[in-house]
Amino acid sequence: MLILITIWEAISKFDVFPAFMWPPLIIPNDPGGVTVLKTLVNGIIDGQLLEATGSSLIRLFIGFFIAVVIGFVLGFLIYKYKIVDDTLGFFVTSLQAIPNIVWMPLAILWFGLGVGSVIFIVILGAALSITITSSTAFKSVPPLLIRVASTMGSTGIHLFRTVIFKSTIPQQIAGLRLAWALAWRAVLAGELLGGSGGLGTLLDLGRSIQAMDLIFSIMIIIGVIGSFIDNFIFVRIERFVLRKWGILTT
C-alpha cells in the first residue's frame, strides 16, 4: 500500500502526466495545489461528498429493500408451484444474463432521467439475483426436516415460518450478500448514466470538469463503503449464522 502510494506520488512529482490526469495523493506539487486527500477531506467537510454518498445509499436501501421483497416472493412461488418454475424460472435466468446497466436506456424512457430510473436498475439487478438464490434455497430444504415437522402437526404458514424459511437462512444470507454487491454496482452505474445526484453523478461531473482528484476521492469512498458493508455487516452475519447452524465449526 505504502509502496503504491510512493510510486503514485513519484509519477505525479516528475510530471510524467499533467496534474489533471495524475493528481498527487497527499503532498501537493505546488503550495496550495490540489491533492486527492485534500479534495476528499474538503468534500466531506463541506458536505458535497457526504450528501452524494447519502443520496446514493438511500436509493440503494430503497431499491434493495423492494428487491428483497420481490425476490423472496418470486423465489417462493418458483419453489412452490412447478408451473411458475417452468415459466418464470426460465425467464428470470435468461434475464439475469443481461447486465443490468443495459436496462438504463429503457429505464430513462420509462421513468425519465432521475431517481426513478436509478432505483429501477437497482431493483432489477438485485431482485433477479435474489429470486434465483432464494428459490434454490427453498428447493434445497432437507425433506427430512419437513417430514419431522409435519409428523408433529406443523402445516401451512407455521411450517413455512418455523422450518422451511429458517432452514434456508444461511443460503439466503449468502444470496443477499451477492445481491447487495450487484445493487451497489447498479446504483453507481445508474447514477453515472442517469444523473440525478449521488456519487455516480458526481463522478460524471468530475470527468466533465477534468477533476481527477474528485474522481479519485469518490472511488475511494465507493471502495470503502462497499467493503465496509460486506466485511462488517454481511460477513459477520454470515459467520454467526453458519456457526449457529453448525455448518462452520471453528
Q: Which residues bind another protein (CB under 8 A)?
A: 142, 144-145, 147-154, 158, 162-163, 166-167, 169, 244-246, 249
Closer residue to another protein, CB minimum distance, 89 or 170? 170
Smallest gap, in angstroms, from Cβ of residue 171 to another protein? 13
Q: Cell numbers 476528499 correspond to what residue? A: 40
Closer residue to another protein, CB minimum distance, 102 or 152? 152
Smallest gap, in angstroms, from Cβ of residue 238 to another protein? 14
Smallest gap, in angstroms, from Cβ of residue 249 to another protein? 7
Closer residue to another protein, CB minimum distance, 150 or 231? 150
Q: What angle do CA 74, 76, 78 make, to 5 degrees?
A: 70
**Number of CB atoms found within 10 A of residue 198's CB:** 26
Closer residue to another protein, CB minimum distance, 146 or 219? 146
Closer residue to another protein, CB minimum distance, 100 or 168? 168
Three cell numbers written together for 125 = 439487478
Smallest gap, in angstroms, from Cβ of residue 167 to another protein? 7
Alpha carbons 116 and 103: distance in angstroms, whole number: 13
Three cell numbers written together for 129 = 439475483
Backbone angles phi, psi at 140, to 5 degrees: -95, 15
Alpha carbons 68 and 177: distance in angstroms, whole number: 11
Smallest gap, in angstroms, from Cβ of residue 77 to another protein? 24
Alpha helices in 100-244 (DSSP H): 104-111, 115-139, 143-151, 156-159, 165-194, 199-208, 212-228, 235-244
Smallest gap, in angstroms, from Cβ of residue 140 to another protein? 14
Alpha carbons 9 and 26: distance in angstroms, whole number: 8
Q: Cell numbers 475511494 correspond to what residue? A: 220
Smallest gap, in angstroms, from Cβ of residue 248 to another protein? 10
Alpha carbons 68 and 134: distance in angstroms, whole number: 10
Closer residue to another protein, CB minimum distance, 101 or 174? 174
**Number of CB atoms found within 10 A of residue 166's CB:** 14
Closer residue to another protein, CB minimum distance, 219 or 242? 242
Alpha helices in 81-155 (DSSP H): 82-84, 90-96, 104-111, 115-139, 143-151
In single-letter form, the type of residue at position 59 comes to R
